[in-house]
Structure 1
Amino acid sequence: MKYRIEKYLLKKTDELAFIKLKSDGEFKIEGYTIPEGGLDVPIKNEVLVKGIKEKTAQDGLNSMSIADAMIYINGIDSTFRYGEEYNKFIDALSKNLKLDLKSYMGYMSNKYFDIGEYTDALIYMKALISRYPDDVNGLYHYAIICQQIAEQYKKDEDSKGVNEFLLDALEKLEKAVELDPGFAPAYYQLGYHYYNQGQFIKAKLTWEEAMKLGLDEDIMAEVQDNIGKMDYKVQYEEGYTLVLSGKAEQGVEKLLPLEEEYPDWWNLLFMIALGYKQMADNETARKYFEKILIIRPTQVDTLVEMGLLEAENFNLEGAIEYFEKAAKIRKDDPEILCNLGMAYLNNGNIDDAGYYIERAYEIDPMDEITNACLREVNKYR
């Protein structure tokens, strides 16, 4: 099983010490043979320190303490070099002690979660689903802990960390519903993930599935409220999906009723404009793009679209003006630089055309459009 967040857990290895068990030593586990040459086994620092303080260090190195630390390191690093050997040790010990290993890992995860130690809680739950990848409850609780940790990264304004933990949570929830299509709580959580990603249709369908499967009364009311509040976003997504799939007329028909209530929603205005442009109604498209630039004068995609409209109308000076504004805002965008370069070329300015297209080439020399533009400008040199 793959994990996006493993790199965030590796620092927890600092909380472990390692000792070597000799193959011919006194330490024995029934049903397990220590490899010839010995085995480096972990022990939690806190266990080691406690044993030293109490002058019973040897007691701190009992088989269960070692097995617990093995579970812990396997939960931190799924590629740990002794991972498979540790699993043999753990299996033999749990058999001898008649220990329900899954219950133990779940207990340890819940214990740490309840006291707010979410990383430790995640490590034990990660160890659980690594050993039992089809455990739906384990996958679900792993996702919940990831979401909790994502909130901590959000407070620290670490957007990359937030994204990694949320994506890992999403993947495990999707795996849970794949294994158990009747698991309503996973659908409920998935709805929020899709909603936060702007996949409103998918969020609505997912929440409707959760309600169909059965939710607690309070959660049911919450989900119904969510669906009601995002109805306009669903309509917007349906509309822009139609526009982007080439069904402009149907898309615009979906989008226009939203304009009256949301006249300053620039994304909505942009998709309406694109729809009209697809229908070859450039004048109406222009009016919507101009509305956007009143609301957001530096909206780059709109500046580019206005530049393209000016170029189509053979107003190359106007096109250059819009493309230059866009290029100043998004300096390393080869597509904008190529548009600007070609506008200069068509306006008879070879030097400026070459300058901007060469800049685009430096940024992405493999881009086909950039190479085509470079070949074109070279014809005039």
Structure 2
Amino acid sequence: MDKNLLGIQYMQEGKWEEAVKTFTEMIEENPKDPIGYINFGNLLATLGDSERALQFFQKAIELDENAASAYYSMGNLYYEQEQFQQAVNMFETALKKGLESSDNFFMLGMSFIAMEQPRLALPYLQRCTELNEQDAEAFFQYGLCLANEQYIEEAIVQFHTCVKLDQSHADAYYNLGVAYGFKEDGEKALDMFNKALELDPEHILAGHGKKLLES
């Protein structure tokens, strides 16, 4: 098996020492190939060594300034550290370098949400749902942004898509309840709050919504 694929397999299996050995061999055998550095950086990030991970991503970019996945990985690192503007910069650079993946669009959207700029998140989350029609969380987050901008009908469509893909998504049912309440459809709103509470009896917001409708 290709060492790149072997190392990734070891990571997926939690065999960290084997992954380290494999990626180290990749770098030693091909010191000018940025892929080895990116993979080693991803491994270090997974193990919580953010500082060294950043150094490996930067080394990959030194070798190839168009290594889009290095910028994406750096974006994830900054996002986890709650440095959201830096994350946006990295994800946008990855996009400019050709990484038009659903994950990159999703993380761009999530970064803007974290910065309390849902309007800016909208186009990225929309594109994510277009590229990956099975991503329940992307439809949920897209729905939240639409609802925040008062596009209630459009938000309802996204929340319904979310629960169709993930029937255990209590927050999506809760937000459907809120949306139907906004439309003054109390029966549907109550039904959605009840579904949220069936999935999560401790869902405080759904419980509150239900009480308001029943009182």
Identity %: 15
Q: Give the Cα separation in 1 of the matches to 2:70 and 2:81.
A: 16
Q: Give the Cα separation in 2 of the matches to 1:277 and 1:363.
A: 25
Q: Is the 8 A contact 1:341 1:354 kept in 2?
A: yes
Unaligned 5+ residue runs, structure 2?
1-5, 27-37
SS of match in other structure, 1:262? coil
Q: Is the 8 A contact 2:177 2:189 kept in 1?
A: yes
Verify: 1:317 aligned to 2:150, yes or no.
Answer: no
Query: What letter corresponds to residue 145 of structure 2 in structure 1?
Result: L
C-alpha distance after superposition, 1:49-75 (max 9, x if no partner) = xxxxxxxxxxxxxxxxxxxxxxxxxxx
SS of match in other structure, 1:380? helix
Q: Give the Cα separation in 2 of the matches to 1:259 and 1:328.
A: 30
SS of match in other structure, 2:127? helix
TM-score (norm 2): 0.68
Describe the shift of the 1:325–1:240 C-alpha distance in structure 2 as closer, same or farther (beyond 3 A): same
Q: Is the 8 A contact 2:76 2:87 kept in 1?
A: yes
Say which structure, 1 or 2, has more relative contact order (CA 8 Å, 6+ apart). Answer: 2
Aligned match for 1:326, one of 151, 162, 165? 162
1:273 alignment counterpart = 109
Query: What letter corresponds to residue 357 of structure 1 in structure 2?
Result: F
Q: Give the Cα separation in 1 of the matches to 2:129 and 2:188.
A: 26
Q: Give the Cα separation in 2 of the matches to 1:372 and 1:282.
A: 21
Query: What letter corresponds to residue 148 of structure 2 in structure 1?
Result: E
Q: Give the Cα separation in 2 of the matches to 1:379 and 1:257.
A: 46
Verify: 1:251 aligned to 2:87, yes or no.
Answer: yes
1:377 alignment counterpart = 210
Unaligned 5+ residue runs, structure 1?
1-146, 152-161, 174-184, 210-223
Greater per-residue helix proportion = 2
Q: Give the Cα separation in 2 of the matches to 1:350 and 1:320.
A: 15
TM-score (norm 1): 0.41
Aligned match for 2:121, one of 285, 290, 296? 285
Aligned match for 1:306, one of 142, 164, 167? 142
Aligned match for 2:184, one of 322, 337, 348? 348
SS of match in other structure, 2:154? helix
Q: Give the Cα separation in 2 of the matches to 1:274 and 1:266.
A: 12
Shift of 1:326: 0.9
C-alpha distance after superposition, 1:270-301 (max 9, x if no partner) = 11122233344433321212222332234322
Q: Give the Cα separation in 2 of the matches to 1:312 and 1:186.
A: 43
2:35 alignment counterpart = none
Shift of 1:303: 1.3
Shift of 1:376: 2.2
Higher Rg: 1
1:52 alignment counterpart = none
Q: Is the 8 A contact 1:201 1:234 kept in 2?
A: no
2:197 alignment counterpart = 361
Q: Give the Cα separation in 2 of the matches to 1:309 and 1:291.
A: 13
Q: Is the 8 A contact 1:345 1:377 kept in 2?
A: no
2:75 alignment counterpart = 239
1:31 alignment counterpart = none
Q: Give the Cα separation in 2 of the matches to 1:253 and 1:371.
A: 36
Describe the shift of the 1:313–1:232 C-alpha distance in structure 2 as closer, same or farther (beyond 3 A): closer
Q: Is the 8 A contact 1:239 1:251 kept in 2?
A: yes
Verify: 1:296 aligned to 2:132, yes or no.
Answer: yes
Query: What letter corresponds to residue 210 of structure 2 in structure 1?
Result: V
Query: What letter corresponds to residue 380 of structure 1 in structure 2?
Result: L
Query: What letter corresponds to residue 303 of structure 1 in structure 2?
Result: F
Q: Give the Cα separation in 2 of the matches to 1:379 and 1:281.
A: 30
Shift of 1:186: 8.2
Q: CA RMSD in A?
A: 3.9
